[in-house]
Chain A
Amino acid sequence: MVTIWWGVLGLLLGGYFALAGYDYGVGMLLPALSRDEAGQRRVLGAVGPFFLANEVWLVAAVGVLFGAFPHLEGRVFAGAYVLIVLLLLGLVTFTAAVQLRSRHPEGNRRGWTFAITAGALVTAVSWGLFLGNLVRGLPLDAQGRPVDDVLALFNPYAVLWGLGFVALFCLQGLVFLAVRGPAEIAGRVRRLTRSFLLPVGVFLVTATVWGAFSGGSWAALAVVAVAFAAYLTVLFGLRRPRLALPAIMLLSACPALLVGVLRFPVVLSSNAGYQLTVDQAATTPDMAAVLGWFAAPTLLVLVVVQWLTWRAHRRPVDEKSLLHY
């Protein structure tokens, strides 16, 4: 039962990265993709219909983390405090700026555009730093309390992940735009895509080789294999964006899945030897059952509604598209 909830959490977090990852990529590259206002609105309009739905996968994931794993939530957020703060600052700036940017027709939008780009960048870097730290082991003492050493969170391995996530989300945003972006930026998207392929590949190889020294499980090996397969599909499937897009979405979900299975059933470990298992982290079975009654139908409705949204807006943005953002 506990394992199933761990899987639900993995599904929600994986879904969040698979979907919201391209929001951040598009956000980071917005000024590079189009200079004029109408063009930038069409770029934002590409993610528009999915934007709100994408972002709240994280809210749902944290809700399940709190509800199903109350003994993990506090440890992990307090343990990476500064990174979570950075993440939230980026996330809030980005999410608010996307929603408010185009709401007034005569308003000056340069500030909002900057907020979108900067917010998306901070979000991507913070996610990379956070997950990188989880792979390596959070800087907690032997009792699982955070050590008062902010710089420990910015260790070289985590910084590699921070930079890697920027490249990964940018590539994801570009592959997404190849499917749904406006026709006039297709050439620019292709050129930028080529320049991000190598950094993502370097990140994958370096993170794997470097991370292999800290050990892992067979399941982790499987996730890494899936990640490389997805990367190769993107690499050789660029001419078929509808194949490359699911592949890069899968690739973006892999880091979170890796963290989930790396030392399973240990779900949180520190570099000072603290370990928390999934059973210790979980809530009581009756509470999990209550949660299940609400979560199962909700997730079903969500997947159906979001799938229908995808189908309704699968064509590239053109002059007839509703843009809103």
Chain B
Amino acid sequence: MDPLPIARLQFATTTTFHFLFVLLTLGLVTMVAIMQTRATLRGGEQLHRMTAFWGRLYVVNYALGIVTGIVMEFQFGMTWTELSAFAGDVFGAPLAIETLVAFFLESTFLGVWIFGRGRMNKWLHLAVLWLVTLTAYASALFIMVANSFLQNPVGSRMENGVLRLDDFGALFANPALVASLPHVIGAALLTGGFFVTGVSAYHFLKRTSEIDFFRRSLRIGVVTSLIGSVLVVQAGFAQFAEVAGYQPDKFKGSVAVGLPLGMMINIGFFAFFAALVGTLLLFRDRLLRARPVLILMVPGIAVPFIAAILGWLVREIGRQPWLVWGKLRTADAVADVSGGQILFSFIAFTLLFAVLAVADWVLLARIAKRGPAVAAAETELPVLSGV
């Protein structure tokens, strides 16, 4: 059995699951940090409750981001042995820095934030959340640096058959990075914004008594969606000029790339107009009474996720057959592990991720539906809960 297609499918599946969760993590944590900042500056019970409710959803979503990330990290060594042997001297550093600076710090600070609620100085507690947010963005930066190097191996030269680093700074000025990083960050904000908007809309459709709570949440969600969609569309189109420079034939005649690309662009425009309409309807709270719009907002939660997967397909399929563009073929990088073993792990990982992802989403949906009022009641239980 040929290990190559299975190894590719396994990595693609793991990355897809990972991407679905970290995208929402990045968008949500930004909004939670803004909510807690306003709560800390102005005081007021409502903003604190908002921080707790959306923070709770953020923490549940975060769990799956961590575990899929660990599996991705290991898979570089498990199935793409030659990648680290060939390009590890360049590619290894951003990846290592991502895990050390970002992942390691992010989790440590998140633990402090969860268990520091109500027990720490409020300014310190706020600072910890901003550190979580910053490290999450640092994580996005370094992983995109690593990915952009695979798309366009700058700052390095060939020496004795392996890549050597010439200029670490060049990795950050990579044309494959400059437009794709804001694009991904825009997508994360859009995903988080649509999520908060959709959940808030659901509660208005159910005639919630928490009008003030979800009115404020809806505002933050809609405005974040608008900012995210502007960024995602603008940076998306900016990439065409950049890609033409380093992968000139990427969009020429390939259906595998063209089809997801077209769909993503349509979704991007749709998201932008939806966010624009939503923002206009915020005047005098017209949105709260526009039930047809609210009804569309609930399934709208899924839209950015679909666009994100399509965008990821465009970027990665467009790179094939190269693993490191022009330098190392994917087929030459795969490990000497038998196809049967990789098939076993592919099936096992996929099943486990599918079960956990569904469980996680069901949990998110239940907590989201329950709303903030019951969330506060949980502290009445014999054991206290944090976020």
Contact = CB atoms under 8 A, between A and B. Distances in A.
A66 B68 CA distance: 18
A272 interface: no
Interface in A61-82: 62-68, 70-71, 73-78, 81-82
Contacts of A136: none
Interface in A31-62: 38, 41-42, 45, 48-53, 55-60, 62
Contacts of B5: none
Given A77-B77, A99-B60, 4 more contacts: A78-B336, A81-B78, A95-B70, A287-B90
A-B residue pairs, 5 tightest by C-beta: A70-B88, A67-B96, A63-B99, A74-B81, A77-B77
A148 B69 CA distance: 27
Interface in B75-95: 76-85, 88-93, 95
A42 B92 contact: no
Given A84-B74, A95-B67, A294-B97, A89 B108 contact: no
Contacts of B66: 52, 55-56, 95, 99
A190 interface: no
A49 B96 CA distance: 25
A150 B343 CA distance: 14
Contact of A53 (B89, B95, B108, B367): B108
B383 interface: yes
A206 interface: no
B133 to A, nearest CB: 16
Interface stretch (B113-121, B178-186, B270-278): B113-121
A291 to B, nearest CB: 5
| Chain B CB within 10 A, most for which of A57, A67, A301 | A67
A192 interface: no
Interface string A98-131: 0110111101000000000000000000000000
B242 to A, nearest CB: 25
A53 B132 CA distance: 13
B378 interface: yes
Interface string A131-171: 00000000000000110101000000000000000000000
B80 A60 contact: no
A3 interface: no
Contacts of A319: 382-383
Query: Is the contact region of chain A dominated by helix, strand, or loop, or is it mixed?
Result: helix
B70 A291 contact: no
A52 B111 contact: yes
| Chain A CB within 10 A, most for which of B64, B78, B383 | B383
A291 B71 contact: no
Interface residues on A, range: 35 or more
Contact of A305 (B108, B168, B353): B108
Contacts of B107: 52-53, 55-56, 59
A286 B159 CA distance: 15
A209 interface: no
A93 interface: yes
A287 B353 CA distance: 34
B296 interface: no
Interface string B52-75: 000010011011101111110110
7 contacts: A62-B77, A67-B92, A82-B341, A82-B344, A95-B63, A287-B89, A322-B117
Interface string B325-346: 0000000000111100110110
Given A70-B85, A85-B344, A49 B76 contact: no
A295 interface: yes
Nearest to B110: A52
Contacts of A322: 115, 117-119, 384-386
Contacts of B60: 99-100, 103
A324 B96 CA distance: 30
Given A88-B71, A92-B352, A66 B92 contact: yes
Given A38-B383, A96-B67, A103-B367, A146 B335 contact: yes
